Amino acid sequence: MSHQETIAVDREVRFGDVTYPFHVRSGPESWNGLTARLAALEPDRLIVITDDGVPDALADQVRANLSALVPTHVLRLPASEKAKTLSTLDDLAERTILSGVTRNSVVVALGGGLAGNVAGLLAALVFRGLRLVHLPTTLLGMSDSVLSLKQAVNSRVGKNHLGTFYAPAFVWNHLDFLDTLPREEIQSALCEMIKNVLGICPDRYDEVAARLRIDAQYSYETFADFIELCVDAKTRVMRDDKREKREALVLEYGHTVGHAAELLTGGALRHGFAIGVGMLVAGRIGTELGLLSDDELKAHQILLERNGSPTALPAGLTADQIIETVRLDNKRGYVPARPGAVDMVLLEGLGCPHWVGDNVITQVDEDLVRVGVNAYLPGVGRPSLPIPGQRQVPSQVRA
């Protein structure tokens, strides 16, 4: 599809008392807008943190444009979830400090969620806080990871165990970056948008079901619309919950099992794909508990199928491995621990997180988690959920 549209969207992201500008642009003029926006910060130096997955030509283009303002240094980290560690952060901090940064310097995160998280935590820690600018190069970065204050790296035993909350000075989304993304990267990112539709805004279900494409070929206008949907959804639940501890925990839907599968595969299972299957597992558990109807579970799979994303966990994983990993999930502690139970976010209808008292964490017996996981392990017992040819919305979707 055509990518020639000129897009100019300006939003303000508001999470509680924290706000930051959020821009979506396309075309050559986007570079002028970015450099003008950076110049307004009056930095003395720019430190670009990126990863090896970002093409050299793209990184060189960014360096060339930013160097016209002030001295600019590009520091790379390996493009692997295994590199999202304190060791990597320590190395980057040393190189950043030796480059001559001051408290007036700016860290620019160039890449997807990996570079964004590492750069975000680096910015929060160096000199107790340098200004941060997000320049995401992936759809997942543009539509999800930069729409949060969370900055974190992994510990040796789990994902995102070590981090803090830190806001960027602004976010600049340059849609032209998406031209180089493989189909799977687009599909993976849209799994997080699907999560937002299922968990927060099912009123957008018809629209999204109609617009999703298995070939992942979208116009810039459609990309911008999808990104704005995610902005609307995340700001809705984070308006009064900037640290994502109460109603905004619905954003963790599918992440308990999804993060475990992502970690166990060393990142070979893309983040969004992992979350997609994690939502199916959570949905299956919801049906077992009587919280979701079969049609509402089918609604999960319909969107994932139309996106062309996986609806099964990778072969080789076991329920025992996943349960062992989720025992160390970073959502533990919102409610008192119960032996033999896993803390999960569940839905009791599309758009309706299941509250237990004053919390959206449900403690699920490990035996039931095993049932949910086994339902989506190849050769173990996936459920049969046929996808009707023309049907977009299950008959019992609850808004």
pLDDT digits (tens, 9 = 90+) for 333-346: 788 889 999 999 99
**pTM recorded for the entire structure:** 0.90
Q: 10 in helix, strand or coil? A: strand
- For the segment 43-56, the average pLDDT, to the nearest whole number, is 96
The secondary structure of residue 349, as a DSSP letter, is S
The answer, yes or no, to whether residue 358 has pLDDT greater than 60, is yes
| Domain range summary for the chain, segments of one domain joined by + | 8-180, 246-374
Query: Crossing angle, helix 319-326 and helix 255-264, to 10 degrees?
Result: 110
Residue that has been written with the tokens 């030796």 in this structure: 98
Q: Is 252 a catalytic residue?
A: yes
Judge contact between 373 and 320, C-beta under 8 A: no
pLDDT digits over 143-170, tens only? Answer: 999 999 999 999 988 888 999 999 999 9
- For the segment 297-321, the average pLDDT, to the nearest whole number, is 97
CA distance 33 to 243: 30
What is 8-180's CATH number, 3.40.30.110, 3.40.50.1970, 3.40.190.10, 3.90.1150.10? 3.40.50.1970
Higher local confidence (pLDDT), 333 or 18:
18
* Dihedral sign computed on CA atoms, order 189, 151, 325, 265: positive
Q: Is 94 a catalytic residue?
A: no
309-341 burial, b if ≥16 CB within 10 A, otherwise e?
A: bbbebbeebebeebbebbbebbbeeebeeeeeb
The answer, yes or no, to whether residue 126 has pLDDT greater than 50, is yes
CATH for 246-374 is: 1.20.1090.10
Task: Considering the candidates 81, 192, 252, 262, report the single residue annotated as catalytic.
Answer: 252
- For the segment 55-60, the average pLDDT, to the nearest whole number, is 95
Task: Considering the candidates 5, 150, 221, 247, report the single residue annotated as catalytic.
Answer: 150
